[in-house]
Amino acid sequence: MSAGAASRDSAIAPGQSIELLKALHILTPEGRLNQDSRRKLKQVHHLYHLIEPLLDEVFARSAAPTLVDLGAGKSYLGFMLYDLYFKSRAAGRIIGIETRSELVVGARELAKRAGFERIDFLDLTVEASIGSPALPGQVDIVTALHACDTATDDAICFGLAKRARHMVLVPCCQAEVAAVLRRNKNASFGKTPLAEIWRHPIHTREFGSQLTNVLRCLQLEAHGYQVTVTELVGWEHSLKNELIIATQCGQPRGNARDRIAQILDELNLGELRGRFLG
């Protein structure tokens, strides 16, 4: 398949850079899509269509909004957003945060080759990026995709500190709450019959994962965000597909903090109060 043929493939958006897709290894050097890369591209486009209205809203509010992608990895999302949206606008900036220096160097080189002047990459932890002078004091959109274990919590802390208008989060491999449930299991049996929910190891893992995201949503609502939870992709593609979209509405849910405290107390998770109520 030639580059021209690839550009007509229905999986590729009109105007999307074929050379960028090759550089990201979504297309082969010959411009072909295999089954796996076609599925990946479809997922990225699906996420883009969910983020696009948020971008429209922040561009209507600000002449030069900033989107920060935390745990950017190879920066598939950042490059796709720039190519599909930011490239056609005169202003606006994307910043990718990643701790693996070789990925940061590679992303910078690709941005230079592609002529993407308003996408930057910083070799920082999320915690360090909160106070870094390389980032603005306020950002418009925060994204964190497949942020493993407590990395999603770090992303929420970043978004709150930066007064983000929107947060787009895809949590992954939530282990912290499950570990506390497991550690306190014997004591929990004497405290509440609800401990039967996480009696078996597989239930501990799955319940801990679900509970983590419930607490995160309540935390966001306590800080004045309206929260929507949906699927990123179908279950047949990934079990880690929960998508949390939070938009600052300025009206904290009145009982959110009380709900968090009650849940932590009822489930013998008091040691996590600092994370979800801090």
- CA atoms of 194 and 278, how far apart (whole Å): 25
Which pLDDT value is given to residue 238? 47
Tell me the pLDDT tens digit for each residue of 103-123: 999 999 999 999 999 999 999
Which pLDDT value is given to residue 102? 97
Which pLDDT value is given to residue 149? 77
Which pLDDT value is given to residue 236? 41
Q: Within a domain: residue 236?
A: no
Question: Does one domain contain both 51 and 118?
Answer: yes
Tell me the pLDDT tens digit for each residue of 198-220: 999 999 999 999 999 999 999 99
Q: Within a domain: residue 11?
A: no
Which pLDDT value is given to residue 38? 85
Q: Which helix (H) or strand (E) holds 154?
A: helix 151-161
Question: Does one domain contain both 178 and 112?
Answer: no
Question: Does one domain contain both 94 and 135?
Answer: yes
The β-bridge partners of 226 are 247
**Residues of the chain predicted below pLDDT 70:** 1-10, 233-240
Q: How many domains does the chain have?
A: 2
Q: Which residue has the tokens 């506390």?
A: 180
What is the reported pTM? 0.91
Q: 58, 165 in Cβ contact below 8 A?
A: yes
